Amino acid sequence: MARRSPNGGYHPVVIPVVDTIDQTCQLAVGCKENIVATGTTLEYRKPNVLVVIDMVLSPDAHLPIRTTEVVYVSDGLGQHILWPEKLVSQAAVVNKVSKSVIKAFKEKLELSLDLACDRLALNGCSLFEFSEK
């Protein structure tokens, strides 16, 4: 791309290329290796980081900074959450979660669903109640 200069000639226009920084992160509890969720870094608020939880790996893990409404990692899905900076790892690609982690998560989720159905059944309720008209 070129721009016409005042003297009638042309000179190149330099368009700066800005590298976009991947804000994807891994969120841990207790120690940095205990990753319980993935998220997006929004803002640094020393000594914490404001993040959005995008994917939960351990739904029953306690959040490192809890509120009265948000106690477990699963409660924070899609929420803006403060997380201790020392437990946030920037990761270029966290979509490549190992199959064993996903399998374990699915098993926990299925177990939780089965438990919820059992509790409902004990109270005489059903997840799926149909009425004929």
- Residue 94's pLDDT band (cuts 50, 70, 90): very low
Report the distance separating Cα 19 and Cα 96, nearest Å.
23
Main-chain dihedrals φ then ψ at residue 55, nearest 5 degrees: -145, 130
Q: In the chain, where are the structural domains located?
A: 24-94, 97-125
**pTM score:** 0.55
> What integer pLDDT is reported at residue 19 of this predicted model?
40
What is residue 15's predicted lDDT score, i.e. its pLDDT? 47
Q: What confidence tens digit (pLDDT) does each residue in 2-42 have?
A: 455 556 555 555 444 444 455 889 999 999 999 999 999 99
Q: Mean pLDDT, to the nearest integer, of 51-57?
A: 93
Burial (CB count <10 Å: 0-12, 13-18, 19+), residue 25: buried
